[in-house]
Structure 1
Amino acid sequence: MLENLNYKHLHYFWVVASEGSIAKAAEKLCITPQTISGQLSLLEERVGQALFERVGRRLRLTDTGRLVLRYADEIFELGKELSHVLRGAPLVGASQFIISAASALPKTIVYKIIEPALKLEKEVSLVCKEGPVESILGELAIHEVDMVLTDTPLSSNFSVRAYNHYLGKSGLTFFAAKKIKQSLSGPFPECLHQAPILLPTKQYAIRQLFDKWSNDNSIFPKINGQYDDSALMKAFGQAGFGVFFMPTIIEEEVCKSFDVEIIGRLSDIQQKFYAISAERKVTHPAVAAVCNSARDIIFR
């Protein structure tokens, strides 16, 4: 029965039909081919007929598939039109602003960046999500979020039609629990060599910059942990499992909240921050407020 049609499944079908293959659709949506295949199977079960037939390495629409595609074209075109209308239309009650942040971004910075959107004249109902970069960009591709916050700019490696909005940058401050700080010897940053350290995972731009700096300066800490989540990394740092770094612009908050001490600061490594949206020219009022405040106040 089609009464409970899942529109996410329909969207996956629409992208596969447009791209001509599951592999290309997976690249565009930043999800695995297996996920798309599973969702297509569920849609075909719901429809009760096959939507594609395989011809060589490509997929060809069946008669039913062509019928479904015509309706899908209209549905998603209307959805796009509705989205544009609502962006500028006065709404009754709070308008929803959905934002997704990369897990490794410090929550304090995420809050600082988002806060101006909550001070608009028009009331905003905020929905905050987080996850790995690839996952949250996939949500942006299918219009499930209005904006993505990350330190990794969108590039050709991500098959997503969206645009980077540079917010600003910050050097790094290195922190540790008192017992770890006392165990270090020598001046900073040489004291980091062979010292226990906690790092973001390699999917994040700041980790790649740190690794390059480490190699260039022949300073090789002992990696005691790698984390997707910045809050978890700080918790382990607070417990004395190793040195960790955060953007210098929030060093005061980190010391106060986690009872850790500053070891030193690096300006050689600059962590950059980006808002990514589906709009080249920002028109969404909440996204505009976020970008303007970040550039003019937070990272000035």
Structure 2
Amino acid sequence: MLNYNHLRYFWMVAREGHLTRAAELLHVSQSSISAQIQKLEHQLGHDLFERRGRGLVLTEAGQIAFDHANEIFSTGDELLNRLSRKTGDVRTVLRVGALATLSRNFQISFMRPVLESASVEIVVRSGSLGELIPALETHRVDVILVNQVPLKDAATSWTAHILDQQEVSIVGTPQRVGNVRDMEHLLRDHPIILPTAEVGFRNSFDALAERLNLRPKIIAEVDDMAMMRVLAREDIGLAVLPPIVVTDELANGRLVEACKLPGIYETFAALTLKQKFPNPALKFLLGQ
């Protein structure tokens, strides 16, 4: 039988992120908490924390134990609420990290299969790769969604799953594009909104312009696809982006796709760790 007293001690330390604070809340000594957690680790057969400097970080098994502890104690609260005619739901957690610059439409399309599930709660965190990869490695997110796969070496712990490749197009308002569909004329005659160099397909666009001996008039370089969408919609210029970014605007006619750029694609991928205890919702989304 699982010792729920040991589990609650572990849960308090994991929740507070600090042994001293948990001991104060539980009104017990730090040594007592440490002993209880060691007994729980022995019973489960896995370390639940690892020490990083002066702090404690959950291991993969620790994060799973913490998720289940949240459910267990939430279920206890739900019992009390149910008998007092209150309502409450208990849901499993899928933590998704996404580059802050990534298309929101793509993020939603990835998560849509579980968005309406009664058994899954999704937590989305946005940030840079420098912020998200450490979160993945310490099991604070289950997956990172990116539009440019980072360089990998023998020391890299994550795996990249290619989810989709989208063609990149020139997009603008119907008034600006008119009946013109010739790529070179569009790039030569109109101000152009481009992603910054950090976006995967920007280098391919620059190479294409060089091959064609074109010097587009760049009106804006933007690292946020949502901002590119707004600028295009406000007719600041023609935007170079994947159509998925402006799905709604293309559907309602506020923007039109003038032409595709030959050989230029944006790659969407999911970065994950190899786990002994994979999140079932993530396995479903990745088709595993």
Q: TM-score range by the shorter chain?
A: 0.5 to 0.7
State the match for 1:79 in structure 2. Answer: 59
State the match for 1:60 in structure 2. Answer: none
| Residues 1:187 and 2:182 are matched in the alignment | yes
Note if contact 1:238-1:258 (Cα within 8 Å) is conserved in structure 2.
no
Amino acid at match of 2:263: D
2:91 is matched with which residue: 91, 94, 97?
94
Q: State the secondary structure of the residue aligned to 1:130.
A: strand
| Residues 1:134 and 2:114 are matched in the alignment | no
State the match for 2:283 in structure 1. Answer: 288
* CA deviation after TM superposition for structure 1 residue 75, in Å: 7.9
Note if contact 1:193-1:221 (Cα within 8 Å) is conserved in structure 2.
yes
2:101 is matched with which residue: 96, 104, 111?
104
State the match for 1:170 in structure 2. Answer: 166
Note if contact 1:177-1:237 (Cα within 8 Å) is conserved in structure 2.
yes
Task: Spell out the pairing of 1:217-256 with structure 2 (5 A cutoff).
Answer: 217-249=212-244, 252-256=247-251
Structure 1 residues 288 and 71, CA gap change in structure 2 (3 angstroms): closer
State the match for 1:22 in structure 2. Answer: none
Note if contact 1:106-1:246 (Cα within 8 Å) is conserved in structure 2.
no
2:121 is matched with which residue: 113, 122, 125?
125
Q: In structure 2, how many angstroms separate the alpha carbons of the residues matched to 1:240 and 1:233? A: 11
Q: In structure 2, how many angstroms separate the alpha carbons of the residues matched to 1:108 and 1:140? A: 22
State the match for 2:200 in structure 1. Answer: 205
State the match for 1:13 in structure 2. Answer: none
* CA deviation after TM superposition for structure 1 residue 87, in Å: 7.8
Structure 1 residues 167 and 190, CA gap change in structure 2 (3 angstroms): same
State the match for 1:57 in structure 2. Answer: none
RMSD of equivalent CA atoms = 3.8
Q: In structure 2, how many angstroms separate the alpha carbons of the residues matched to 1:113 and 1:76? A: 32
Amino acid at match of 1:104: T
Structure 1 residues 159 and 129, CA gap change in structure 2 (3 angstroms): farther
- TM-score, normalised by the number of residues in structure 2: 0.65
Structure index of larger Rg: 2
Amino acid at match of 2:256: E
Q: Which stretches of structure 1, 4 residues or more, deviate above 4 A after TM superposition?
A: 5-8, 69-78, 84-92, 157-160, 249-252
Structure 1 residues 292 and 89, CA gap change in structure 2 (3 angstroms): farther
Q: State the secondary structure of the residue aligned to 2:183.
A: coil
1:155 is matched with which residue: 151, 172, 192?
151
- TM-score, normalised by the number of residues in structure 1: 0.63
| Residues 1:279 and 2:269 are matched in the alignment | no
The unaligned stretches of length 5 or more in structure 1 are: 9-68, 294-300
Amino acid at match of 2:149: P
Q: State the secondary structure of the residue aligned to 1:193.
A: helix
* CA deviation after TM superposition for structure 1 residue 153, in Å: 0.9
Percent identity of paired positions between Structure 1 and Structure 2: 18
